[in-house]
Structure 1
Amino acid sequence: MKLQIILIFSVYLVLNSVLTQTIDSNLVNNNVERTIDLTSQLAKVSIKITLKNSGTQPIKNFLLYENPKEKGILAYIIAKDTSKQTLQIDVQGKQRRIHLQNPLLSGKTTIVNVEYVLAKSLEPYPAKITQRERQLVRFITTQHFYSPYATTEDKTTFKLSSRNIESYTKVKPVSQNDQLLTYGPNKNVEPLSEVDVLVHFENNSPFLTVTNLVRTIEVSHWGNIAIEEHIDLLHTGAQLKGSFSRYEYQRDSNSGLASIKSFKTILPASASDAYYRDNNGNISTSHMKIKRDAVELDLRPRFPLFGGWKTQYTLGYNVPSYEYLFHSGDEYLLKMRLIDHIFDDMLVDRVTTTIILPEGSTNLNLKTPYPVKRHPDTLHYTYLDMKGRPVVSFSKEFLVENHIQDFELSYNFPRLLMLQEPLLVFGALYILFLVIIVYVRLDFSITKEKKE
C-alpha cells in the first residue's frame, strides 16, 4: 500500500514538473487583438498576438489554451507569422503548442496571427420561433484572451450580423458602434482570466448544415471525370413553432426571415452536364450561371427550409480529366479538391469521398492536406470490367470552407490496358456477327422441299 502511494505521488510530481516547465513565465502577451466574427452560423475568431520574451533564454514555442467558455466544435485552426508562413501546431489535449519559425530571443517581440473556426457555438435563443418572429442567438466567451501567460494589454471586438442587440454583458470598458461591440482595451490581465461575456443578438443568416455528404469521383482515362454528390441538408437554427402558412410566406416579406429559399453552389469553371435532382426527380427551379473562373448554381429546394426542416438532393457534373489528371509513362497523379464549395459559410458534419479508378490501377498512394479516416480499398464493377475497378475511400468530420483544399492520389496504370475495352467490344461484335453468319447458313427444317 505504501509503495502504491509513493508511486502515485512520484507520478504527480513528474506531471506537475512537466506542466510547470511547459508554461514559461518569461513569455508575455505584450498586446492581443481578438476579433470574433458572428455574422454567420460560424464563429470565426482571429487573434493577433504580440509575444515578448522577458527572460534570458530563447523561446522556440508557446502554448495556446482552448477557451473553456466557448462552447462548440473546433473545426479549423491555423497560425501564421508576419511573413505569412504557416506555423506547426501540436495538439496536447485542450492545449496546442505553436512552434515559432525562428527562436524568440531575449527582449525581442514577434507577432503571431491565430485563426480558428467554431461550429455549433451560436445557440438559438429562444430555441423555437413562429413564422413571423426573427431569430435570436447568443454567444458566450471570456472578456479577455484566455492564455496561460500574463497579458499586458488586450482588446476583443465582436462583429455582429445585426445592430439589433437584445443584451450583452456590460463589463467596462465596453462600447458599441453599429454592428461592432468592443471590450477593452484592458491593462495587465492575469493568466487564465475567466470573466464571462455573453452577447444576445439578432442573426437571420442561413443556419444550414450538411449532415452527410457522399462524394463520388469516377476517373476515366478517356478524357472525363464524373463527380456526383449526395447531400443531406438540415436547418439547425431556431425551430419553427406552430404551423406553416404558404400564403403568409408569399404575401409578407418579413415572414420567415430565418428560412432558406435558395443557396449558391460553386462548381469548377470547366464543369458541364450538371444535374440537380431529389427523390422525386429533377428539380427545375434552379439556375446555372457560367462565369470566367467558376460555374455558379442557384439551387432552390422544392420547399423553403425552416428550423428543424431537412431535405436531400443529388448534384452531379463532369470535368475534363486533363485539368486534374497528370501522368508520366505509367505513373498517374490525380489532384482534385477534397470538398467543393456547397454554400457560403458552409458546415459539413461528415463527408465520405469515394474515388473510382480505372481497372488495372495499382500502387495506390493517397496524400491529404489534413488528417482523414482512410477506409479499406474495395472494387467497383461496371460494364466491360473483368477484375473490377479499385476504389479508394476516406471520410472526415466537421468541415468548413477552409477545408476546400486539394488531395493527391498517385497510382500506376499500364497504358496498354486502355486497349482492353475496345478489344472486348470488338471481340463481342465479332462473335455476334459470326453467330449470325452461322445461324443463317444452317438448315433447321425437318423435311426438305423437292426440287422441280
Structure 2
Amino acid sequence: MPAMGKMRFCLILLLHIVIICKSANVDTISSDVKFKNVDRTIDIASQLVKITSKITLENSGKSPVKSFLLAVEASAQSKIAHISVKDANNKDLRVTETTVQGYNNVKFWRVELKETINAASTAAVTAESVFTKALQPYPTAIGQQEDQLVKYNGNLYIYTPYQVMSQKSNIIMNTKNIESFTKVKPFSQQDGAIQYGPYSNIEPFTEKELSVHYKNNSPFLTVTRVERLIEVSHWGNIAVEEIIEVEHTGAKLKGPFSRYDYQQDHHSGPASVRSYKTLLPASASDVYYRDTNGNISTSNMKVKKDSVELDLRPRYPLFGGWRTHYTLGYNVPSYEYLYHSGNEYLLKMRVVDHIFDDMQVDELVTKIILPEGSVNIKINVPYPVTRLPDSLHYTYLDTKGRPVITFTKANVVENHIQDFQLRYTFPRLLMLQEPLLVVGFLYTLFLCVIIYVRLDFSIHKSEHQHKE
C-alpha cells in the first residue's frame, strides 16, 4: 500500500509539472490595462503595408503592470512578417509570441516593459508591424499602357484585447488617384492621405473593414526563393553567393507585349520593373552577376562609404506574372566578420542581405560552410528560424568534408536584415593539413618520376651483353 501511495504521489507531481510547462507560454488578458490613446499610421505607398502605432498605456488597476499584449486578427496572421516595439526612449522592448486561452484564432505577442507602470500611471510605446501580400491588384490584369490599381483591406480600428479610449488613423498612399475608400465619420482626405478619427471608447477585439482602392505603380517584386551560401575560409576570405528567383506579383500583363512601344515611350509599362538596386557590404569585391545566359553586362556598380550599390537590370523588363532567375556572388575579407581566441571562433554575418527596396522574400535558405574539422558548432539567430539537418560539403583537398549549417525562414522583409552569431571550435594545427597534403602529393609525384627515370623496364638485352 505505501508503494501504491508513492506511485500516485509521483504521478500527481508529474502531472503538475506537465501543466506548468504547458502554461509557461500562456498569458491572460489584464483588465487593468487600457489604451488611453492610439495614433496609427498605415503606409500603403509600396508593395508592403507598414503600420506604426503610437500607444499610450494606462494602468487603471492597483498593482504594477510589467507587460502587455499585442494581437493580430485571423485574417492578417498569414501576412504579418515582422513586429517590434520601442519605448519612449527609442529602446527595443522584448517581444515574445504567446497564446491566450480561449482565443485560438488570435495571434498574440507579449511585450515586456523595461519599467513597470504603477497604478494610475501611463507609459508611451511605439509598435511597428510589416505585412506582405496585403495589397491585391484590382483589376488583376492590365494592358501595357495602363496604371496598376490595388486594393487594401484592413481593420479601421487597432485590433487589441484592451479597451481603447481614443484612436486616430492616417492612411498614406503618396497618390491623388483614389478610386474609393471606406467612409466612417469623422474622416478627411487631403492629397495622398486619408485621416480617420478620433474614435472613442472602442471595445476589445473590435473589427470594422477598412478598404482603399487606389493607384500604386511601385515595384511589386517578390523573391520567391533565395539560397544564400556563405563559405568561410581561415585563409583570409569569405565567399558569398546568392541564387535568387524573382517574380513580378502585381497585376498581370493583358494582351501582347510591344518592345517598340516600350522603348519609344518612357511612360509605357508604368507598373513594370526595368531595374532595381541591390546593396552589398562596403568591403565586397570580385562581384559577379549572371543568369542562365551568362554574365549581365548592363549591371552597374557604385562603391560608397558604407556599401556597394549594384544597379541590376534584367535582360527584359518584368511585367505582372513574369519571372527572372540569377546568381549574385562576391568576396569579403574574413577579418571583418570572423573573430577568434585560440581555437574558438565567432562568425557574425547577416542572415540575408538587401536585395531591393521594400523587398519581400517568400523563402530564404541560408547555408554556412565551415572549414573542415570544425566542431562544437552553436548558432544564435535574432529571430525564430527552421534549422535543417547539418550536412557535409566536399571540395579540393578535403578528406572528411566541411560541415554545412542550414536554416530557412519564410516571409522575410528588410527588418530581418540582422546578424547571426555562429560559434565553433577549430584546432589551428589543422590549417597545416592542406599544405601538407600538397607537399605530400608533390613529393610522391617527384618520387615516382625519379623511380621511373632511374629504372629500366625494357625486356630486351643490351648490345654489350649480346656481344659477350
Q: Under a length normalisation based on structure 1, what TM-score does the superposition of the two structures give?
A: 0.92
In the alignment, what sits opposite 1:56?
A: 62
* Counterparts of 2:62 and 2:267, CA distance in 1: 63
Deviation at 1:436, TM superposition (A): 1.0
How do 1:30-429 and structure 2 match up within 5 A?
30-67=36-73, 70=76, 73-91=79-97, 92=99, 93-429=106-442
In the alignment, what sits opposite 2:4?
A: none
Q: Partner of 1:77: helix, strand, or coil?
A: strand
Confirm or deny: 8 A CA contact 1:40 1:161 kept in the other structure: no
Q: Quick one: which amino acid aligns to residue 28 of structure 2? A: T
Aligned Cα RMSD in Å?
Answer: 1.6
Deviation at 1:184, TM superposition (A): 1.3
* Counterparts of 1:69 and 1:35, CA distance in 2: 20
* Counterparts of 1:77 and 1:65, CA distance in 2: 11
Q: Partner of 1:247: helix, strand, or coil?
A: helix
* Counterparts of 1:148 and 1:430, CA distance in 2: 75
Deviation at 1:320, TM superposition (A): 0.5
In the alignment, what sits opposite 1:5?
A: none
Deviation at 1:99, TM superposition (A): 2.4
- Bigger drift between 251-260 and 65-74 goes to 65-74
Confirm or deny: 8 A CA contact 1:211 1:233 kept in the other structure: yes
Q: Partner of 1:377: helix, strand, or coil?
A: strand
Q: Under a length normalisation based on structure 2, what TM-score does the superposition of the two structures give?
A: 0.89
Deviation at 1:71, TM superposition (A): 7.3
Pick closer, same or farther for the CA change 1:71–1:221 going to 2, 3 Å.
closer
* Counterparts of 2:350 and 2:76, CA distance in 1: 30
Deviation at 1:59, TM superposition (A): 2.0
Deviation at 1:266, TM superposition (A): 0.5
5+ unaligned residues in a row in structure 2: which ranges? 1-26, 100-105
Q: Quick one: which amino acid aligns to residue 162 of structure 1? A: T
Confirm or deny: 8 A CA contact 1:28 1:52 kept in the other structure: yes
Deviation at 1:53, TM superposition (A): 1.6
Q: Quick one: which amino acid aligns to residue 319 of structure 2? A: F
Q: Quick one: which amino acid aligns to residue 217 of structure 1? A: I
The number of residue pairs the alignment matches comes to 432
- Bigger drift between 148-157 and 232-241 goes to 148-157
5+ unaligned residues in a row in structure 1: which ranges? 1-20
* Counterparts of 1:347 and 1:262, CA distance in 2: 16
Deviations 1:401-431 (A, max 9, x none): 0000000111111111111111111111111
Deviation at 1:253, TM superposition (A): 1.7
- Bigger drift between 418-427 and 66-75 goes to 66-75
Deviation at 1:68, TM superposition (A): 5.0
Deviation at 1:196, TM superposition (A): 1.9
Confirm or deny: 8 A CA contact 2:82 2:415 kept in the other structure: yes
* Counterparts of 2:372 and 2:167, CA distance in 1: 59
In the alignment, what sits opposite 1:10?
A: none
Deviations 1:233-273 (A, max 9, x none): 11110111111111111111221111111111100011000
* Counterparts of 2:162 and 2:428, CA distance in 1: 60
* Counterparts of 1:448 and 1:31, CA distance in 2: 108
Confirm or deny: 8 A CA contact 1:261 1:301 kept in the other structure: yes
* Counterparts of 1:264 and 1:90, CA distance in 2: 33
Confirm or deny: 8 A CA contact 1:69 1:142 kept in the other structure: no
In the alignment, what sits opposite 2:13?
A: none
Deviations 1:263-310 (A, max 9, x none): 111000110001101111111110111111111101111111111111
Pick closer, same or farther for the CA change 1:32–1:282 going to 2, 3 Å.
same
Deviations 1:359-401 (A, max 9, x none): 1111101111111111111111111111111111111111100
Deviations 1:344-363 (A, max 9, x none): 00111111111111111111
In the alignment, what sits opposite 1:13?
A: none
Confirm or deny: 8 A CA contact 2:42 2:51 kept in the other structure: yes
